[in-house]
Amino acid sequence: MRIAVCSLAIATVLAGCQGGGAVMDGARQFGTGVGAAATAPLDDLNLRREYIPTVLLQAEASPYDLRNLNQCSTIGAEIARLNEALGPDTDEPPAQNGAFLSERAADAAAKAALDAIRDATTDFIPGRGWIRQLSGAEQHSRHVQSAIQSGRMRRSFLKGTGMQRNCAPPAAPAWFRPRGRSQR
């Protein structure tokens, strides 16, 4: 808990130069995440489960399915659904949020504080690994990771298919430039 207080104090000092807006954002981020961090043992007991988006479950079931993906626009739409669930692909440039150093410091401090709370609430569980196994939480965690991996694999497959069909991004990698006229 001392780490959480120290992290927020550091963020306050660093954010002072920007008029306190960064401190408020960091405090808001901390406030919204503290409930999830404090109730982290519910995940270990399998009383709360991480949601798996439908698009990732579909990718896990059939990662190479091309049904109804016969046009560049439909491939691009499917890639957009995967991007929404997974975040941007590695071929896409990172978003420039224009955040000041103090804002990034406040965000980092809030994240460190939340991590400290999450660690403190889960460390008191004796035999945590066994409890996760017996409750099914570990199996669900593996299922979440499998769905994420399948989604990434499907997105890569679809971008490769889009390249083969001479589609423009987002139905192909961001760096790809179609030759001549691209398909629709």
Tell me how far the alpha carbon of residue 163 is from its chain's centroid.
26
* Consecutive 10-residue averages of pLDDT for the chain (184 residues): 47 47 55 56 59 94 94 96 93 66 67 65 61 71 91 96 95 91 58
3-state secondary structure of 5: helix
How high is the pLDDT of residue 45? 56
How high is the pLDDT of residue 108? 72
* Domain ranges (residues) in the chain: 2-89+100-164
Separation CA 39–CA 122 (nearest Å): 9
3-state secondary structure of 180: coil
Helical residues (DSSP H) of the chain, grouped into ranges: 2-15, 21-38, 41-44, 54-61, 72-86, 101-123, 128-135, 137-164
Q: Which 8-state DSSP code applies to residue 174? A: T
> For residue 66, how many other CB atoms are within 10 A of its CB?
13
**DSSP letters for 40-60:** THHHHTTSS-----HHHHHHH
What is the crossing angle of helices 54-61 and 72-86, to 10°?
110
Separation CA 107–CA 30 (nearest Å): 9
How high is the pLDDT of residue 115? 66
pTM greater than the 0.85 cutoff: no
How high is the pLDDT of residue 70? 93
Tokens describing residue 173: 């990698």
